[in-house]
Structure 1
Amino acid sequence: MNLQEALMSIIPDPERVSSSPSVREQHGRDLSYHHPHLPDVVVFATSTREVSEVLKFANTHRVPVVPFAVASSLEGHIIPVHGGISLDLNRMNQIVEVCPNDFLVRVQPGVTREQLNATLKTYGLFFPVDPGANASLGGMAATNASGTTAVRYGAMRTQVLGLEVVLADGRVVRTGGMTMKTSAGYNFTHLFIGSEGTLGVITELTLRVYGIPEQTVAARAVFANLDAACQAAYGIIGAGISVGRVELVDERTVAAVNRFKQTAYEETPTLFLEFSGSRAAVQAEVQLAQEICEEEGCRAFVFETEGDARARLWEARHAAALAIMQTAPGKRHKATDVCVPLSKMPEAIRFAQQTIDRHGIYGAILGHVGDGNYHVSFMVDPDDEREVAVAEQVNDEIVEYALAVGGTCTGEHGVGLGKIKHLAREHADLLPLMKAMKAVLDPNGILNPGKVFI
């Protein structure tokens, strides 16, 4: 009996246990430049029970299992480098319960953030974590995603109150609960968040949600150079303004967005900002932010209060990665993802720009500079060894700089395949403990093998 036949004894539906070349191809890559690798079989699960049965089988027969959702990851997390089973959770996409009086929801892992917010809007609520892509909430928890709103609301780890997780041997466990805090025992919820599918498969999440603010204002501040934009961002944070988003894009990013979205933004370094709260508070904070930007030589400060106009402005920012990808059709996307202490952010971005220029390659700088997290995006041909080597060298230098000033090799994308060596450099003393934990929860090494560490 082959693998597909064996799995069909668990899920007797040929449409949900597939070895079709096209389906396997779809599940063998993400948005990154990492080389694809096909799974042997793709299983489309619809319940925790099915996930449990698949993992019991896989654990018994030592078959690798890689959780999969919308494939928006950027470090090869969902690429099944050892073949085996790609466990697709997209059909587990039910919002189980909305508890508006408790400001929380329970969702299955395949629910996307846009799907959740469309439902929450009717309750006057929203879920704040916004990585840009319409990612699945299970995947966002697995990588501890954050994005544009982290400066105010924090990353996924801040928003997850509890999880249902299926362990490698098929056991189903629940962590946390429905309260905003707990001091009961070890924090296994936070252990699974950011574990990238290497410790268990998330099958349900309990999340915090928030009331929609009275007023939201989006603003765009244009500067002559990156230094000025960085200093303005740092000044806004330092002034204690309760800003919801502080996003930096350089002139190359703006140019790419203009071509991709047919917009006409001035092609110079730009801060995208968002403020929300009571009308009086927002008005005061926008005024103060504008003054700080003007002190740093801001050439234009434009803000939008109307919903559609705000959406168009943020659509331009969210389209940045796709716009950069369109600058080099046929190539693949590679992005750095370092995070540094806020005081080091302006000089860190200056170093990144100098490094790109020194190596003479195209690299666009953008990021969530309000919390010190920034990216340099490259387009590379995975089959061109020299091109990949130069991009890797630039990435390595940027990471080394971040680590030297007390930063991290990944602020939000996770380790996956691409940052294994950098994790070893950042947390060499903790790697034995990480491996020991992995051995306890996944002794046969079936869960997403080859990721995070080797």
Structure 2
Amino acid sequence: MTKPDALHELSTLLGQRLSTSKFELEAHGRSESYFPTTLADAVAFPDSTEEVSEIVKICGRHGLPVIGWGAGTSLEGHALAKQGGVIVDFRNMNQIYDLHAEDMSVTVQPGITREALNEELRATGLFFPVDPGANATIGGMASTRASGTTTVRYGTMRDNVMALEVVMPDGRIVRTGSHAKKSAAGFDLTALMIGAEGTLGLITELTLKLQGQPEAVGAAVCAFDNISDAVATVIETIQFGLPMARIEFIDAATAAAVNAYSGSELPLTPHLLVEFHGSEAALAEQAEVFGGILAEHGGKGFDWATAPEDRKALWHARHHAYWAILNSRPGCRAVVTDLCVPISRLAGAVEATRTDIDQSGLQGPILGHVGDGNFHAILMIDPERPEELDRAKELSDRMVKRALFMGGTVTGEHGVGYGKLEYMPMEHGEGWDVMAQIKAALDPMNIMNPGKVVRFGE
């Protein structure tokens, strides 16, 4: 490996858009979660797909790792340079290329954030529906196969990306998919890249499905005496086929944190936060049906809101719940679990998790996108007390194995990174070896985000 030669070539290509400053390296060396700061050798800020291709070719010649970077909101160490190398920050590649309103699709660069995209789309009557909460970049969301609060109705990134442009490990620029609604032409390379976390290539362009902005939107928050009744309401709502746009759960500890952080006045009990999209008539009918299900399970305070400012306040509080929880213990970091189980096993999984946390001595509020069977425990730890991290990891381990026993997955939306790497053979068995074979075929030098998703070349 000739790192100085690689950095010299990259500097010649990018000029001041290649940084080795302490500030940039540290800013790109931190994760939202508990992982320690890990420094890359340099951070590159390309302006085009062609520059990304040249960066990858240079790094390939010198055996230097390449790691993609979006907004840095990932939670499993996805974008950390574990083995050094060059972080490719897509902040300059944030444009909308083509909007095809009549086809309800748009082509964008990977560095545009979901909020910026929807702001640009507002006047068209269309919107991009995937909402992970954080203002992540579209490229990062595709790379981690993100989902979020609206997945129960609109699906994950897998369901909303039609085509990609990808720079492969050898620098080739490959296009996958098309603008057509469907295709039976060969391997689905688009699906292969979505969720690969930059281990097979760097996404430089995405064509996305859009949705029509609903005629009317209604939201509500309702309280329950216990977790079991709240989850039972979710299960019956889903099984009834009610077309919810969002159905979110927060427990009593999360409600307390949200109240303190956002000035809300939620009772200190479990809650469901729900949203409906449709016509005025459809919303009224859906609210009536949901109210009946709610009453059967002891739901209280069905506070219906259609005014935009009221709905915005409700979802602002939910989207900032993670920060509210961290703020409830200043100076703490978090081990964020990300379990997803079949909807029929959801109540048992949540209640067992709550019991485990209560017995652990750690603080760990629970919240999640329970319409998908996906929930999170935010296990707070003092970074100065390593025994708390050990306890949180032991607790997370039990949760993960329980989810697998129930027929679920170790990660519903946050991805693998290297935080969940050890669980991949438990979930996939021989399938994990197949993933490594694909990695070896496409990236034999193992330069693309090494140490993540699969074990290869280590």
Same fold? TM cut 0.5: yes
* Residue 425 of structure 1 pairs with residue 398 of structure 2: no
Cα deviation 1:364-399 (Å, max 9, x = unaligned): 100000010000011223453211111011111111
Residues in 2 aligned to 1:384 and 1:5: alpha-carbon distance in whole angstroms: 41
Contact 2:362 2:380 in 1 (8 A): no
**TM-score normalised over the length of structure 1:** 0.98
Greater shift after overlay, 192-201 or 299-308? 299-308
1:38 counterpart residue number: 39
Equivalent position SS for 1:247:
strand
Match of 1:334?
Answer: 335
Aligned residue for 2:87, secondary structure, equals: strand
* Contact 1:223 1:300 (C-alpha < 8 Å) held by counterparts: no
Q: Does 1:8 align with 2:7?
A: no
Once residues 82 and 380 of structure 1 are traced to their aligned partners in structure 2, the CA distance between those partners, rounded to angstroms, is 26
Q: Confirm whether residue 315 of structure 1 aligns to residue 321 of structure 2.
A: no
Q: Distance in 1 between matches of 2:126 and 2:158?
A: 19
Check the 8 A contact 1:148/1:247 in 2, yes or no: yes
**Are 2:142 and 2:158, in contact at CA under 8 Å, matched by a contact in 1?**
yes
Unaligned runs of 5+ in 1: none
Letter in structure 2 aligned against 1:157: R
In the TM superposition, residue 2 of structure 1 has moved relative to its aligned partner by 4.9
- 1:14-25 correspondence to structure 2 within 5 Å: 14=16, 16-25=17-26
Point out where structure 2 has 5 or more consecutive residues left out of the alignment: none
Quote the offset at 1:307 in angstroms: 0.8
- Cα distance between partner residues in 2 of 1:373 and 1:273: 15
- Aligned equivalent of 1:393: 394
Residues 318-397 of structure 1: matches in 2 within 5 Å? 318-397=319-398
Cα distance change of structure 1 residues 383 and 197 upon mapping to structure 2, 3 Å threshold: farther
Q: For the residues of structure 1 that align with 2:367 and 2:77, how far apart are their CA atoms?
A: 21
Name the SS of the counterpart of 2:102 in structure 1.
Answer: coil
- What TM-score do the two structures reach when normalised by structure 2? 0.97
Q: Is 1:127 the equivalent of 2:139?
A: no
SS in 2 for 1:101: helix
Task: Give deviations 1:294-313, integer Å, cap 9, x for gaps.
Answer: 11111211010011111111
In the TM superposition, residue 330 of structure 1 has moved relative to its aligned partner by 2.0
SS of alignment partner, residue 9 of structure 1? helix
Separation in structure 2 between the aligned mates of residue 62 and residue 448 of structure 1, nearest angstrom: 12
The match for 1:164 is 165
Q: Give the counterpart letter for 2:88 in structure 1.
A: L
Alignment of 1:236-247 (within 5 A): 236-247=237-248
The match for 1:104 is 105
AA of the residue aligned to 1:362? Q
Preserved CA contact (<8 Å) 1:4 1:19: no
Question: Match of 2:28?
Answer: 27
Equivalent pairs counted in the alignment come to 452
Amino acid at match of 2:139: G
SS of the equivalent of 1:195 reads: coil
Question: Partners of 2:212 and 2:301 in 1: how far apart?
Answer: 32
Residues in 2 aligned to 1:434 and 1:453: alpha-carbon distance in whole angstroms? 7
Q: Distance in 1 between matches of 2:129 and 2:445?
A: 37
RMSD (Å), alpha carbons: 1.0
Whichever residue aligns with residue 45 of structure 1, its letter is P
